[in-house]
């Protein structure tokens, strides 16, 4: 009787610890997936593939040139947006001064 009662208690303990561990692992995995989705990745496999395919510092000169072009395009885009914003502000200022006269 003591052996049966002891094994039942042991099974209950093992199932409880296993359930808690499973819940913890599942919630951590879910949190990681949510974080990756916020950053624009579908899941961890997609994130890992993107990280592994990043160009490394010792890449070929062609890779470095394309990377530099990408940065130049981003910089030119920012300059273009700044210029566009300035033109809109000048137009609005012109319209406001026209109304005042």
The domains of the chain are located at 1-44, 55-101
Amino acid 7: pLDDT: 94
DSSP string, 75-95: HHHHHHHHHHHHHHHHHHHHH
Alpha carbon distance 94, 101 (integer Å): 11
Amino acid 16: pLDDT: 94
**From the centroid of its chain, how far is CA 9?**
45
Amino acid 57: pLDDT: 58
Per-residue pLDDT of the chain (101 residues; tens, 9 = 90+): 888 999 999 999 999 999 988 888 888 777 887 888 877 777 777 777 777 766 555 556 666 566 555 556 667 777 778 888 888 888 888 878 877 76
Amino acid 9: pLDDT: 93
Amino acid 30: pLDDT: 79
Amino acid 12: pLDDT: 95
CA-to-CA dists, residue 62 to 55, 59, 65, 68, angstroms: 11, 8, 5, 10
Cα dihedral: 30, 33, 35, 36 (round 10): 180
Amino acid 56: pLDDT: 56
């Amino acid at each position: 009787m003591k052996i049966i009662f002891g094994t039942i208690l042991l099974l209950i303990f093992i199932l409880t610890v296993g359930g808690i561990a499973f819940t913890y692992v599942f919630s951590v995995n879910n949190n990681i997936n949510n974080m990756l989705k916020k950053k624009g990745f579908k899941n961890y496999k997609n994130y890992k593939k993107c990280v592994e395919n990043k160009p490394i510092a010792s890449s070929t000169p062609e890779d470095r040139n394309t990377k530099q072009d990408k940065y130049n395009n981003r910089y030119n885009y920012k300059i273009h947006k700044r210029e566009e914003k300035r033109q809109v502000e000048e137009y609005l200022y012109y319209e406001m001064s026209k109304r005042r006269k």
